[in-house]
Amino acid sequence: MSDVKSNGAPLLEARALRKTYQIGGRPLEVLRGVSLTVARGEMLALRGASGAGKSTLLHLLGGLDTPSAGQIQFAGQRLDALSGPELARLRNKRVGFIFQAYHLFPEFSALENVILPARMARVPAAEAVKRGRELLARVGLGLRMEHRPNELSGGEQQRVTIARALMNAPELVLADEPTGNLDSHTGEEIIELLCALRAERQTTLLIATHDAKVAARAPRVIELADGQIA
């Protein structure tokens, strides 16, 4: 599949990011001076072994966590300059997250899980449901909308998380090991789906993965090793 052309304008700029956690009273440095620029519409793979810092970097770029040092700009706006409510709105409306562990609410149906971001953004219920149904149909779950997570396979649950991530038409989608819990065939289907959705919507896509086959689908790959770009 041919790559989507970006317009060259940076959507994300990270400079000298560091992240240190205190574990048992001792510092654990996970990221050690990571800098990168991501253009709008770009597809980028973050590759590295477990513990290399991939998930931590995605969490920082998406505003789920804050760096110990360095700065991040999203569309020219520094994340550390945003208030808590402003950062929450950015995450809700402009960033979509696809988690390896799915993080679906077990008591909600697939449709109810998908429309949560829209309801948090105060989208009218009827509009949210209509869009949620369209997205679930697009990811191949048109007949599974009322099923709860425990009634869905791993691949189906991952498709729900993809639909949820796209609910508010975000500019940026961050996918953390989206095929990590799936068999190879289902994993290939998920990557095909992500690539197709990106092509349709011109969405910027960052995928953290340790899978060489997944990384090979991205026009640009960054290797992380011991908290640094290798």
Residues near 26 by Cβ (< 8 Å), separated by ≥ 6? none
Contact call for residues 159 and 190 (beta carbons, < 8 A):
yes
DSSP string, 93-104: HHEEEE-TT---
Q: What is the pLDDT of residues 73-92, one digit of tens each?
A: 999 999 999 999 999 999 99
Q: What is the pLDDT of residues 36-59, one digit of tens each?
A: 999 999 999 999 888 889 999 999
Q: What is the pLDDT of residues 183-229, one digit of tens each?
A: 888 888 888 888 888 888 889 999 999 888 889 999 999 999 988 99
Average pLDDT, the chain: 91
CA dihedral 10, 203, 84, 79 (to 10 degrees): -10
| Complete edge-to-edge strand list for the sheet that includes strand 69-74 | 26-39, 10-23, 69-74, 77-78
For residue 46, the cross-strand partners are 208, 222
Burial of 132 (0-12, 13-18, 19+ CB in 10 A): buried
Q: Report, as an integer, the average pLDDT of 126-144.
A: 95
pLDDT range class, residue 8, cuts 50, 70, 90? low
Measured distance CA(178)–CA(103) in Å, rounded: 12
Q: Is the pLDDT of residue 5 over 80?
A: no
pLDDT range class, residue 16, cuts 50, 70, 90? very high
| Complete edge-to-edge strand list for the sheet that includes strand 172-176 | 95-98, 172-176, 204-209, 43-47, 220-225, 228-229
Domains and CATH numbers, the chain: 42-66+82-229 (3.40.50.300)
